[in-house]
């Protein structure tokens, strides 16, 4: 019989940490809103019978949603190490409510893609600011020796919340239709969990979530701190080999994920019933990847305890390289299974990267680091999906692109192995 002592132990630890429990509640609600919003936008723009999306349009939509904040995020991330993170969370969630309302109104009015994407990218920026702030704040509400298991618990809650939000979107889409009016209703529903997240942000005492002041803090004016956000973030990454190595592996995974995402979207859009069967197949991919992340989130603390923070990501990247070869068949059932394994492997690398930044990085620079990670996370994805859009055939059947993903995983494995070994020696 399976040993359920670890989950029970983790649950008792959560119960003994009331502020961490509040952080989990905020994460769950915030990620539910994010899952609902992203699924609603995807349904409105990519699987909407009133709109069309070719490979370049798909790549352009992702770039418009995620690239601007990815480039500006590390500048803004400096504020997470400058201002009371509680106030940052309150301000960002207030902005989310306003922008989500705007997106819903634009969809109801039948506005074009550009104003909807511009508004959605602002909402996305606020959401990612909240996510980085919650990750940077975690070491303030758990003891140092519990950071790795509690980070896994936090990511598990985030994954469940995002998945629940994405699945919940199917109800309004079925009830109100796949057109602009139905999509607007779905988006307007997002204001409820975002408003709850705003209220939950207010429950923390001032300064509880950091940042701490130390000799490594960036001093000077707020303008100086923001202007040098990328500089200090990149410098800290280079100075912490454990973080640099896992971020390199994470970038490789996200690039492969970008390629696989475009392959899947183009293939399913060329089914005879793209807006119905195609959307359902896409949901299966999301479920498979989310299930893989769920399993990895539970297993990672044990993997790290058994193999360490260096060997666990190495093994995950090596496994991913092998599985990606199987995805080159481009058979949708096989790709769904591969999506499960790749989701698990990528989550192991992601959790190890989070732990490296929460344990090995001074709190005065931790916000910088999580903003850089967030930017790398999405820039790698967008670069890959844009490059793939330039060469993918109209029907999406390109085994060579899938094989290229194997090469990217091997490159990420090599980078992680070399830089991580330097960190172990240090």
In a domain, 316, yes or no: yes
Rounded to whole angstroms, the Cα distance separating 74 from 129 reads: 10
Handedness of CA 185, 186, 188, 191 (dihedral sign): positive
**Model's pTM, two decimal places?**
0.77
In a domain, 232, yes or no: yes
Scanning the structure block, which residue is given the tokens 């429990």? 21
In a domain, 217, yes or no: no
CA atoms within 13 A on the CB side of 60: 12
In a domain, 143, yes or no: yes
- Looking at residue 314, what is its pLDDT? 96
Residue 77: which domain range? 20-207+222-425
In a domain, 415, yes or no: yes
Per-residue pLDDT tens, the chain, 426 aa: give them.
Answer: 344 455 555 566 677 889 999 999 999 999 999 999 988 887 777 665 555 556 777 777 788 777 777 777 777 777 788 889 999 999 999 999 999 999 999 999 988 778 888 898 888 888 888 988 898 899 999 988 888 888 888 988 998 898 899 889 888 888 888 778 888 999 999 999 999 999 999 999 998 998 876 656 666 666 666 666 677 778 888 888 999 999 999 999 999 999 999 998 888 776 644 444 456 677 788 888 888 998 998 899 999 999 998 999 999 999 999 999 999 988 888 988 999 999 999 999 999 999 899 888 888 788 878 888 888 888 999 999 999 999 999 888 899 999 999 999 999 999 999 998 876 655
In a domain, 32, yes or no: yes
In a domain, 214, yes or no: no
Task: Please give the tally of structural domains in the chain.
Answer: 1
Helix (H), strand (E) counts: the chain: 16, 0
In a domain, 270, yes or no: yes
Task: For residue 191, give the CATH number of its domain.
Answer: 1.20.1250.20
Rounded to whole angstroms, the Cα distance separating 208 from 85 reads: 8
């Amino acid at each position: 019989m399976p040993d359920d002592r670890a989950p029970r132990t983790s649950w008792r630890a959560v119960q003994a940490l009331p502020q961490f429990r509040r952080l989990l509640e905020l994460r769950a609600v915030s990620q539910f809103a994010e899952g609902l919003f992203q699924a609603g936008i995807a349904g409105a723009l990519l699987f909407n019978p009133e709109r069309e999306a070719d490979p370049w349009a798909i790549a352009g939509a992702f770039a418009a949603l995620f690239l601007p904040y990815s480039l500006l995020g590390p500048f803004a991330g400096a504020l997470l190490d400058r201002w009371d993170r509680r106030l940052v969370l309150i301000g960002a969630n207030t902005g989310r409510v306003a922008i989500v309302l705007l997106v819903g109104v634009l969809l109801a009015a039948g506005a074009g893609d550009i104003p909807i994407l511009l508004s959605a990218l602002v909402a996305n920026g606020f959401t990612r600011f909240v996510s980085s702030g919650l990750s940077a704040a975690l070491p303030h509400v758990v003891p140092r020796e519990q950071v790795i298991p509690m980070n896994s618990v936090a990511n598990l809650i985030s994954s469940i919340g995002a998945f629940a939000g994405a699945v919940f979107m199917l109800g309004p889409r079925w009830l109100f239709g796949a057109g602009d009016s139905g999509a607007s209703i779905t988006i307007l529903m997002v204001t409820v969990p975002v408003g709850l997240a705003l209220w939950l942000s207010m429950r923390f005492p001032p300064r509880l979530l950091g940042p701490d002041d130390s000799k490594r803090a960036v001093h000077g004016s707020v303008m100086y701190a923001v202007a040098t956000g990328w500089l200090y973030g990149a410098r800290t990454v280079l100075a912490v080999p454990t973080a640099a190595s896992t971020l390199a592996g994470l970038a490789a995974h996200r690039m492969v994920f970008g390629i696989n995402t475009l392959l899947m979207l183009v293939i399913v859009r060329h089914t005879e019933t793209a807006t119905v069967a195609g959307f359902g197949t896409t949901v299966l991919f999301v479920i498979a990847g989310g299930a893989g992340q769920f399993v990895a989130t539970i297993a990672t603390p044990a993997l790290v305890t058994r193999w360490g923070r260096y060997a666990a990501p190495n093994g995950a990247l090596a496994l991913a390289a092998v599985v990606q070869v199987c995805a080159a068949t481009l058979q949708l059932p096989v790709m769904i299974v591969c999506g499960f394994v790749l989701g698990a492997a990528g989550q192991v690398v992601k959790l190890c990267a989070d732990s490296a930044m929460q344990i090995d990085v001074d709190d005065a620079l931790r916000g910088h680091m999580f903003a850089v990670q967030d930017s790398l996370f999405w820039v790698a994805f967008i670069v890959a999906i844009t490059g793939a859009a330039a060469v993918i055939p109209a029907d999406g059947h390109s085994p060579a692109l899938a094989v290229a993903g194997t090469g990217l995983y091997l490159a990420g494995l090599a980078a992680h192995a070399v830089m991580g070994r330097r960190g172990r020696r240090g």
